[in-house]
Structure 1
C-alpha cells in the first residue's frame, strides 16, 4: 500500500472529510500496519486515536513511527481487534473505524469477522466505518500463460507416457490465484461482459452477517463478447471509502471516473480450456461464505479426468526444452554403450525420463523420489509398468548406505524457485564417486551462474518505500530497514538492461565457501542499478549445448538480487561479488570499486 499514492490519497481524503466535516473525535485504526491511516486521522485533527496491530514486527514499526514523529494522541494496541473491549478504548466506543485489511480476494484477511465484532462492540451506534462498502464483479477470460503451459505438458508427455485422457492442473493454495500485470508476465484476454455479483455494506451489520453466512451468494450471467477460449474467471472489486472516494482493481468502470486501480484481481481457473461462441451466456456463482471469496461453475470435466499436481512439478513438465535436451543426452549415452542399463536413478522433480525408459524396456529398475509416489504410481498403472520395477527413495543419505551401483543418475541442483537444492548438492559428489557403475554417468555435468545489471522502477517500488508524500514521517525509514535484498518468484517484469549478460561464477557441487569477484562492464546508458538479474546455464555433459533458465517456459523462475546502486556518470564498470556458502549463494555490487 505504501507506494500506492492513489490508494493512500483516497484513504486520506475520506478520513480528512470524516474528521473535519462530520465532527469525528475518536478513531480506531484496525490492522494499522505502519500506522499510515492513524497518521491521516492525526493530520485531520482527531483528538484520540487507537491503532491496533497483532503482527509483532509491524506493531514494532508502528510504535517506532509514532514515537519518532511524537504522536502523543495515538495509542498503540498490540493485539487483534477481536480481542479488544471498550475498556481498551478508554471505556468509550469510537466514532470512526478505519481499516485497510483487504487482500486481492477482498475478504482473505478476515475483514468480515473483524468488522462484525467491531460494529457490535467497539463502534458507537451513530459511528461509521471507512470503507463504506465493497462491490464485486466477474468476467470470463482467456489466460495465455495457462494455455501455453498446458500445451507444453501435452507435447512433453503424449508421445511417450499414456495419461489416460487425464488433464494435469497445478494445485492452488486456496480457491484462487492472483493475477498480476504490474510487472509484465502472462496475458489475459477478456471474453465476456462484466457482471455485478453483490455488494457488502460495512456499515450495515446485517449485510456483513449475511455475507459471512453465505446468504449473499449470487449467480451471474456472463455474455461472451467474442468467440474463443475461456481459461477461467476473474473477480474484481470496487472499494467505496465514502461517496466520493472509490478504489478498485480494474480499469474503465461506469460508476465514476475517479476510480483508481489497486490490488491484483483473483483468477479462478478452469481445469481445462473451454471453447465459447460469441453471445454465448455462461453462469457462475460468487460467494464469500465464512469470509472466503469463492466462485463455482459447471464447466470443468468430471473429477476422474483431472489430476492436481504440485505447482513446481507442473512447471517442470511444462519445460519441454529442458526435458528434451536432457533425454537426448541420456539416449545418446545409451546408444553409445550399446547395452541395457540395470539401475537408473531419476531424482528430478518428476522422473519423466526414467519412466519413459522403463516403459520402453531400456532399464530394469528405476529409483525416484518418495514425494512423487502418488503420481508415479498412477502413471505406472496407466502404462502397464510393473510396480516392483520402481523404487522410491525417501532420503539420499539413507540411499547411499544401500551400496547400489547406478548406471545413470539424474540430479537437479537448482530448484524451481531459483535456489540451490541443498540435498542434491550435498550428495552429488558422493553419488558420483561411490554409486556410479564403471560406464555410468551423472547429469548435469556443470552449471554456470549468469547475470546482467538492470534498472527497474517497478522493482524499486515493490522492494522499498518510494512515496514522496510520506517523506514528512518516519514510515519510509522504518520500512526500508526491512526491505528485501533478494527477490524470488518473478515472471517477466519491466526493466532496462545496463550491461550484457555475463557468466559470473560456476555452481560448486559442495557445501564449502566459494567467493569470486567479477568485473561487469556497463553499457552507454547510465542509470541507477536496481538489481542483478540472474539465471543458470545448465550443461548436461561436458560438451553438450547448455540449457538456459531465462526462457519463458523454464521450470526455474526469474530471480533478482535487489541493489539500488547509484552509478556515477563517468563509471564504465562495477565489481560484482559472488558468494556460495553452505548451499546458499548471493551476489552484490561492491561499493568501493571503480
Structure 2
C-alpha cells in the first residue's frame, strides 16, 4: 500500500532520551549469583554504547542501530535506559530503508528489535504501520492487536486497528450475516445435500465458519474448512470452538489451491460449499478454485445428471451454478467518476488534457493497476440511474461441470445486440447474477433486491458525449479472459450504419460512422487517424475514480481559483509596495524579476490542478506534488495550452532525493506564499497527521501567506439508521442460524463508518445539522482536543448514529462542502455502541473528541432540557 512521501516527514516519534549509563543497578531482596566479571565484554558494551550515541547525534542511524542491538543483547540491564533512544534510532533507520526500497532489511530490523523488546507496544504498532502500507493487512492487524493487548489505552494503535479492521473484516461480512434470507437458503441447500449422502464436506473460504457449521449440524460425518486470511482463520477457529465443534471441523489456514490429499485432508470430499463470489461473480477466483477442487479435492461428478445413486461416491458443488445479467444505464454519478465531463475548471481550459478516464476498463491491455469493473449499489447512487435497455443474459455457468469451467477463459468472444428502449447518455453496463444453490434455492443480486451484494459496473469510456436513441441497437462484446467477466460496448447500429464506440486497431475512431457514403471523407479520416493514433495513445492518462470526480468538480476548482486570486493579488500589492520603498537598494537581486515571484506549494494527494491555477495568476512559481509521469505530462500540456511558462511549474517530488518529501523553502531568501494541504480523505475522514503538517507549514509561510484551507468546520446530525447498524455489526439477540457468531465478529466493529453517501443513506433525521468541531490550520491557539455540543431532538426515534461532514474554509469567505452534490468526497458516521431512545424536545449532549485524525463521539440524553452552549 503506497503512501505519499510527505507523510514520512511527519513520522510520529517519541522524544529522544539517552540512557543514564551512570545509574546503579538495583537488586531485589533475594540474593542472586553475581555474573562473572568479563572486562573485555564490558569494554565492548561501553564502547558500543558510546558509538551508538555518537552515530545517533551524527544521524548515522544504521550504524547506531547495529551498536544498540549489540549493547542490548550483551547487556540487557541497559534495556530500560536505552528503550526510547533505541526506538528513535529504529524508526529513523526504518524510514531510510523504506526510502531506499530495502523493504526486507526494514522488516529484518523490526524483527531484531522485537527480539530485544518483544512486548513493546510502540515498536509493534510502528511495524504494523509499515506492514499495512506494504499491503500486509493481516500481519498489520496482528501487530496492532498485540499492541492494544499490552496497552488498551494506546490511542495510536486503536486508531490503526480500526483502520485495518475496515480492510480485513469488510462491512459486507456484517451485511451477509444479517441477511437472514441468504443464510436460510444456503442452510437448506446444504441440509438437502447432506441428507442425500454428501457426508464429507469442504468449505472453501469459510470466513466465520458458518457454512461448515451448517454442514456439521446437518449431519455430515467429516467437515473441513479453509481460509486464506489469517484474521478470518483465527476468527473461524474461535467461532467453531464456541459452538462446540472444534473437534469435528478441521480448519486449515491455507488457500484451497494449495491444498492436497492426503496432506491437508485425508481423502476427496463429496461436497464443496463456497461463497467466494463478488459483485462480478468471478472476481474472488471461484473458477480457479473449483477447477482445482474438481481435479484434486472433490470426488468425480455424476456421470448422468439424472442418476440418483449414492451421492457419497460422487462430488458436487454448492452453489451449483449462476446466470449473469446486464443492462445499459445512464447515470451521472458513474459518469463523473470515470470520464472527463468538463472542458474548463477554475479558469483553466482542459481541452488539451488528452484522453483521461478512470483505471476501470475492459479495453486496455492486462495491467495490475486496471480493474475490469467496479462495484456500486445502484439503488443508493445519488441522482439515481436510467435503464437504457432491458436486462439481458450475459452468460450461464455450471459449477458442477469441470469441462465448462476449464473452457470459460477460452470461450470465443460473444457479440450480442441490445435494442435500446429509452433515450439517454450511455454511461455504463450494470451487471448482477442469480446464484443457483441447487434445483430449488437461488439468490439474486439484482439492483431491486434487498441483498448484501452490490452490482458490478463496467463504465463506458467515450471521449465525447453519446446519446442512445430508441430503435438503436447497442453491440456488446462479452468475454471471460483470465476468468474475469468482461463486457465492452463496442458500437451502435443506427439507421443501417455502425457507430464505433471503442478504439480498436484498424477501426475508425470512436463516434465515426461506417460505411461512409463519401469515399473522399473516408480517406481523409483514415489519413487523420494515421497521424493522430500514436499521439492519442501517448496522451492517454488514467486516474483513480475519486481523482476523476475531483477533476469534474467545477465548484471546488472555482472556489480555489477565487481564493488564490484574492491572496496572490494581496501579496503582489504588498511586494510592489515593499520594492518601491526599497528602490534605493543597490543589490540587483532585490529588483530582479525573480525576486518578485510568489511561491505556491501544492501537496495534495494524487492528481491536482491547483498548482496550475496558482501559476496562471502570473508572477507565481507553483510546485506540484503530482508524482506519476503520465500525470505530469498532462499538467505540462495544460500549462502550455493555458499560457503558463514551463519555468513557473515545478514538480517538487522529482527533486527531493534524500530529503524525502520534506517541505523546503524554494530558496534561501524566499518563503512560501501559499501552501495547499489535502485535509480530508475521500472516505470522509480527516487525513492523518494533518495538524502536524499545518504546524510545519505555518513556519514556512512568508508574512501575509496562507495555508489552504485556513479552517475546517465539522458538522453532524442525529439520525436513526437501521442500515448503518446492519453494516456495522451482527444485529439481534438470536444466534445466526442457531450459531453463536455475533460476539466474535463484532470484535471487529469499528465506531466510525466510512464511504457513506448521506444523500442516499436510508435514515431518519432526528435533528438539524449542528457544528461539532473546528480545526483552525492558521491559528494553533484556537484549537482544542474535545468539545461538548448540545443538540436538540426534532423527531422521536432511536438515535443510532451521527453522520458528519466538513465545510472547508479556504479563507474567511470562501468555502467548499464535502456534502455538496458534486463532491468527490464521501461522508462518515459515528455509529453508537447502543441505540438511544429520544423524544422530540430532548437535548442530546455529544462529547466530541479528535485524536490525531480520528473523531469519536459519545452521546448522552439530558433531561430536563438545559440552556444550549
- Taking structure 1 as the reference length, what is the TM-score of the superposition? 0.89
Q: Which has the higher strand share?
A: 1
Aligned to 2:320: 132
Match of 2:517 in 1: none
Partner of 1:428: 694
C-alpha distance in 2 between matches for 1:561 and 1:26:
44
Mapped partners of 1:97, 1:377: distance in 2: 55
Residues 584, 74 of structure 1: alpha-carbon distance in 2 compared, 3 angstrom cutoff: same
**Counterpart selection for 1:503 from 764, 771, 775:** 771
TM alignment of 1:69-468, pairs within 5 A: 69-71=243-245, 72-88=247-263, 91-125=266-300, 126-147=314-335, 154=342, 156-157=344-345, 160-164=348-352, 166-172=354-360, 173-181=370-378, 183=380, 185-211=382-408, 213-215=409-411, 217-250=413-446, 263-272=453-462, 273-298=465-490, 299-300=501-502, 301=510, 304=537, 306-336=540-570, 339=573, 342-347=597-602, 348=604, 351-356=608-613, 358-359=615-616, 362-371=618-627, 373-394=632-653, 397-400=662-665, 402-403=667-668, 404-422=670-688, 425-436=691-702, 438-466=703-731, 468=734
After TM superposition, give the deviation of residue 333 of structure 1 in Å. Answer: 3.9
Instruction: Give yes or no for contact 2:712–2:809 (8 Å, CA) kept in 1.
Output: yes
1:475 Cα shift? 0.9
Instruction: Specify the SS of the correspondent of 1:123.
Output: coil
Matched, 1:30 2:204: yes
- Please give the alpha-carbon distance, in whole angstroms, between the structure 1 residues aligned to 2:355 and 2:666: 38
Alpha carbons of structure 1 residues 333 and 59: separation in structure 2 relative to 1, 3 Å:
closer
Report what 1:473 is aligned to.
739
CA deviation vs aligned residue, 1:200-235 (integer Å, no higher than 9, x gap): 211111000001x32254222211112222111122
Q: Using a 3 Å threshold, how does the CA distance of structure 1 residues 77 and 406 change in structure 2: closer, same or farther?
A: closer
Deviation at 1:586, TM superposition (A): 1.3
Per the alignment, residue 142 of structure 2 pairs with: none
Helix, strand or coil: the match of 2:460?
A: strand
- Which deviations, in whole Å up to 9, do the C-alpha atoms of 1:226-254 show, x marking residues without a partner? 222211112222211111111122268xx
SS of 1:399's equivalent?
A: coil
1:15 counterpart SS class: helix
Distance in 2 (CA, whole Å) between partners of 1:484 and 1:219 is 45
SS at match of 2:804: strand
What's the CA shift for 1:144?
A: 2.4
Larger RCO, structures 1/2 (Cα 8 Å, 6+ apart): 1
Is 1:579 the counterpart of 2:849? The answer is: yes
Partner of 1:588: 857
TM-aligned CA distance change 1:194 to 1:25, over 3 Å: same
Distance 2:458 2:338 in 1: 16
Structure 2 regions of 5+ residues with no counterpart?
1-175, 301-313, 361-369, 491-500, 503-509, 511-532, 577-595, 654-659, 864-869
Gapped regions of structure 1 (runs ≥ 5)? 253-258
Q: Is contact 2:346–2:561 with CA below 8 Å preserved after alignment?
A: no
- Structure 1, residues 145-200: CA drift from partner, whole Å, max 9, x if none? 13466899516439532422745323335111112135453522111122222222
Equivalent position of 1:256 in the other structure: none
Displacement of 1:458 after TM fit?
0.8
Alpha-carbon distance in structure 2 between the residues aligned to 1:400 and 1:112: 55
Count residues in correspondence.
Answer: 582
* TM-score, normalization by structure 2: 0.62
Q: Is the 8 A contact 1:342 1:406 kept in 2?
A: no
What residue is the counterpart of 2:824 in the other structure? Answer: 555
- Is contact 2:476–2:488 with CA below 8 Å preserved after alignment? yes
Q: How far apart in 2 are the matches of 1:233 and 1:498? A: 37
Structure 2 vs 1, CA of residues 399 and 421 (structure 1 numbering), >3 Å: closer, same or farther? farther
Partner of 2:850, secondary structure, is strand
